[in-house]
Amino acid sequence: MQGIILFTVLASTYLMVIAKRMPALIRGFRYQSFCLFAFTLFAASGHDQPDLYIIAGLLFVLKVSLIPYLLYRIIKRIKVNEDLGLFINPQLSLLWALVFTYLSWIFSTHLIISNKITLTSMLAIAFFIVLAGLFLMISRMSALAQIIGLLVMENGLFLLASTVSGGMPFFVEIAIFFDVFVSVVIMGFFVYRINKLFTHIDVNKLSRLKG
C-alpha cells in the first residue's frame, strides 16, 4: 500500500514538472498533497498515533483544500496570462526530473546504509520532491510557480520527516504548518502587489536591483 502511495506521489510530481499552465500545476500540487494525506493517514493507522491523525487532518485542510483554493483565487483575481513561462520546455523538464530522481536515489543510498529498500526509496522520493520543487522555482518565470515550488519542497520535507524520523515533534509540526500557511498568504499578498505595480507576475522581469 505504501508503495502505491509513494508511486502516486512520484507521478504527481512528474505531472507538475511537465505542467505548462497554472491550473495544471495547482492541480498537481493538490494531488501530491492528497497523496501525502493518504500516506500520513496510512501511517497513523499503522502506528496508532493520535498525533498523526491531527496532522493528517491539517494536511488535508491546508494543503489539499485551503492553499490550492487560495491559489486559484489569486489566478482569478489578478487575471493575468495563465502561462507559467518556461525556461525549460516540458520534455526537457521531464528529462531533468528523471536525472534528479536518479541523483536522489544515489544520494539516499549513500546517506543511509540500510538494507530496507523501502526506506531508501522513500528517502529518494522525498529528496526528489525537494529537488523538483527547487527545479520548478528555478525554471518557471511566474511568481505563482515559485510559491508552488516552495510548497512542493515543503511537501518533500514532510515526506522526509515522516519517513526517516517518524515525523517531527508534534507541536513543531503544527508550527510548521502554521508557518507554511502564513507564508503562502504573505506571498500571495506580494503577488497581488507585484501584479499591481508591474501589471504582470513574471518574476524574471523583476531585475531592477542589480550588482
Partner 1 sequence: MEIFFILGIPVLLAISTFFMRKQRVFGIINCIGYLAVLFAGVSLFKGIISTGSAKAFLGFLYLDFLSAFFIFVISVVAFAVALYSIGYIRRDVGQGVISEKKAGVYYLLFNLFCFSMFMVPAVNNLGMLWVAIEMTTLISAFLVGFYNSKESVEAAWKYIIICSVGIIFALLGTILFSYAFSISGLSKSLNWSDIVPVAHILDKDILKVAFIFILVGYGTKAGLAPMHTWLPDAHSQAVAPISALLSGVLLKTAVYAILRFGMIIIKSMGFAYFAHLMILFGIISLAISSGFILVQKDLKRLLAYSSIEHIGIISIGFGLGAPLAIAGALLHVFNHAVTKSLMFFGAGNIVSVYKKHNMNAIRGVVKAMPFTGIMVLLGMFALTGFPPFSIFISEIMILTAAFTNGSYVMAALLLFFLSVIFGAFVYHFGKMLFGNLPKGMVVSGEPLSGKLAFLFLFSLICGLGIALPFIKKDLLWIAQRLLQG
Partner 2 sequence: MSDFFPKQFFLFDPLSLFFLFVIFIISLPSAVYSLGYLKGGYSSAKITLAWFLLLIFVLSMAFVVTVSNVLVFLVFWEIMSLISYFLVVFDTKHEKSIQAGMIYIIMTHIGTAFLIAAFMMLYKHAGSFDFNAIKSACQIMPGQTKNIIFLLLLAGFGTKAGIVPLHIWLPYAHPQAPSHISSIMSGVMIKTAIYGIIRFVIYILGVQSSWWGILLLVLAGITCLVGIIYALMVRDIKRLLAYSSVENIGIILLGVGLAMFFQSMNMPYLAILSMIAGLYHLINHAIFKGLLFLCAGSVYKATGTRDIEKLGGLIKKMPQTAVYFLIGAMGISALPPLNGFVSEWLTLQAFFLGALNIIGGAKVFLVICAAILALTSGLAAACFVKAFGITFLALPRSNYAKDAKEVPLSMKAGMFFLSLLVIVFGLAAVKIIKILALVSSSVTGFDISSMSFSFNNFTLSPQADKHIYLSTPLLALLLIVLGVAGFVIYRLFGRGKTIIYNTWDCGYYKIGPRNEYTATAFSKPFRIAFSFFLLPYRKTQKIRESFYHVKSFAYETYTTPVFKRYIYEPLLALIFKTAKSMRKIQLGSIHLYLGYIFITLVLLIVFIRQF
Q: How near is the Cβ of 194 to partner 2 at its closest, in Å?
A: 12
8 Å CB contact between 149 and 140: yes
Residue 204 site contact among partner 1, partner 2, none (CB < 5 to 8 Å, cut-off depends on kind): partner 2
Interactions with partner 1, residue window 106-165 (CB under 8 A):
111-112, 130, 134, 137, 143, 146, 150, 153-154, 157, 160-161, 164-165
Each as own residue / partner, the long-range contacts of residues 177-184 (CB below 8 Å, 24 or more positions apart, any chain) are 177/55, 177/58, 177/59, 177/62, 180/62, 180/63, 180/151, 180/154, 181/62, 181/66, 181/67, 183/150, 184/67, 184/70, 184/71, 184/147, 184/151
Whole-number Å distance between alpha carbons of 174 and 79: 33
**Residue 86 DSSP class:** B
- Residue 203 contacts partner 2 per CB under 8 A: yes
Q: Would you say 4 or 106 has its CB closer to partner 1?
A: 106
Interactions with partner 1, residue window 170-189 (CB under 8 A):
171-172, 175-176, 178-179, 182-183, 186-187
- Residue 46 contacts partner 1 per CB under 8 A: no
Interface stretch with partner 2, choices 7-15, 54-62, 116-124, 139-147 (CB under 8 A): 139-147
Residues that bind partner 2 (CB under 8 A): 87, 107, 134, 137-139, 141, 146, 203-204, 206-211
